[in-house]
Amino acid sequence: MNTREEKLQAFGRLLDVMDELREKCPWDKKQTMHSLRHLTIEETYELCDAILENNMEEVKNELGDILLHMVFYAKLGSEKKAFDIADVLTSICEKLIYRHPHIYGNTEVQNEADVKRNWEQLKLKEKGEKSSVLQGVPSSLPALVKAIRIQGKVRGIGFDFPNRDAAWVKVKEELAEFESELAVNDKEKMQAEFGDLLFSLVNYARHIDINPEDCLERTNKKFKARFQEMEKHIHADNKTLSDMNLAQMDVYWEKVKKQIQG
């Protein structure tokens, strides 16, 4: 692996390249924070894909893309005389030191849960006691990820079910309420109760230490792989999906399920 000096040189080289691109490249000269925003989101999702696929080469490449974006934003900030990359790095270092008093202070912790609880309490203190605990949850997050973040935030200040059994009772309660609304067939109330059911399932997943976003993505990929394999078998038999009924497709689906486990 690279030495500390080599790492610093590599980062300095990226800063130099960014300065040169901003000065000479027509595309880079034109960019603003707003124009970069959607590209940064895309790069983040590409990194997430690489991580889920456990592709270390792609993780490395995508981290480079994201790091470029961070340096780009810092460059734009410096041009507006608002902040530069040194300000960004100093800020995050100070935040990490402040929020890890068990490392840089005298606070004692017993486990990961204590660390998370301290983090949220210090964050709230940092922003002022009248600030909302949920203030730091971005509005633009996808709903499932947002539910995870919301529940993690309130757990940090002790607003949580005492154990997984209590969380599962809540899931069953929400399922019963959803089934009641299904019987009435009131779509507005059905949507509300289905949302509550999803929220309670996310909460239970957290209590058993699994990430529902990862679980759902795994199922998405499994379904996609099975369905596309089913299409191949159907086409190999000179058939088309549009000419088949569900029972006929199900025969192929069951074959594929045996091939693609998970």
Res 262: pLDDT: 67
Residue 205 has pLDDT above 90, yes or no: yes
The verdict on 201 and 220 lying in the same domain is no
The verdict on 86 and 125 lying in the same domain is no
Q: Which of 16-30, 36-50, 246-260 has the highest mean pLDDT?
A: 16-30
Taking all residues of the chain, what is their mean pLDDT, rounded to a whole number?
A: 92
Query: Hunting for tokens 């689906």 — which residue is that?
Result: 253
In a domain, 131, yes or no: yes
Mean pLDDT computed over 242-254: 93
Over residues 208-238, the pLDDT tens digits come to: 999 998 899 889 989 999 999 999 999 999 9
Of 39, 73, 98, the last residue of a domain is: 98
The verdict on 77 and 146 lying in the same domain is no
Q: Number of C-alpha atoms within 13 angstroms, CB side, residue 131?
A: 15
The verdict on 129 and 187 lying in the same domain is yes
Over residues 163-194, the pLDDT tens digits come to: 999 999 999 999 999 999 999 999 999 999 99
The verdict on 164 and 201 lying in the same domain is yes
23 versus 259: the higher-pLDDT residue is 23
Domain limits for position 56 = 4-98
The verdict on 154 and 191 lying in the same domain is yes
Q: How many domains does the chain have?
A: 3
Q: How many residues does the chain have?
A: 262
The verdict on 92 and 120 lying in the same domain is no
Of 32, 64, 98, the last residue of a domain is: 98
Dist. CA 26–CA 20, nearest whole Å: 11
Res 132: pLDDT: 82
Phi and psi, residue 113, nearest 5°: -60, -40
The verdict on 206 and 218 lying in the same domain is no
Over residues 35-93, the pLDDT tens digits come to: 999 899 899 989 988 998 899 999 999 999 999 999 999 999 999 999 999 999 999 99
In a domain, 48, yes or no: yes
Res 134: pLDDT: 87
Say what angle helices 246-259 and 212-236 make with each other, to 10 degrees: 110
The verdict on 199 and 116 lying in the same domain is yes
In a domain, 76, yes or no: yes
DSSP per-residue codes, the chain: ---HHHHHHHHHHHHHHHHHHHHH-HHHHH--HHHHHHHHHHHHHHHHHHHHTT-HHHHHHHHHHHHHHHHHHHHHHHHTTS--HHHHHHHHHHHHHHT-HHHHSS---SSHHHHHHHHHHHHHHHH-TTS-TTTTS-TTS-HHHHHHHHHHHHHTTT-S-SSHHHHHHHHHHHHHHHHHHHHHT-HHHHHHHHHHHHHHHHHHHHHTT--HHHHHHHHHHHHHHHHHHHHHHHHHTT--GGG--HHHHHHHHHHHHHHS--
Q: What separation, in Å, do the N-terminal and C-terminal C-alpha atoms of the chain show?
A: 36
Over residues 102-154, the pLDDT tens digits come to: 999 999 989 988 888 888 788 777 776 667 888 878 888 889 999 999 998 88
Q: What's the CATH code of the domain at 40?
A: 1.10.287.1080
In a domain, 104, yes or no: no
The verdict on 85 and 160 lying in the same domain is no
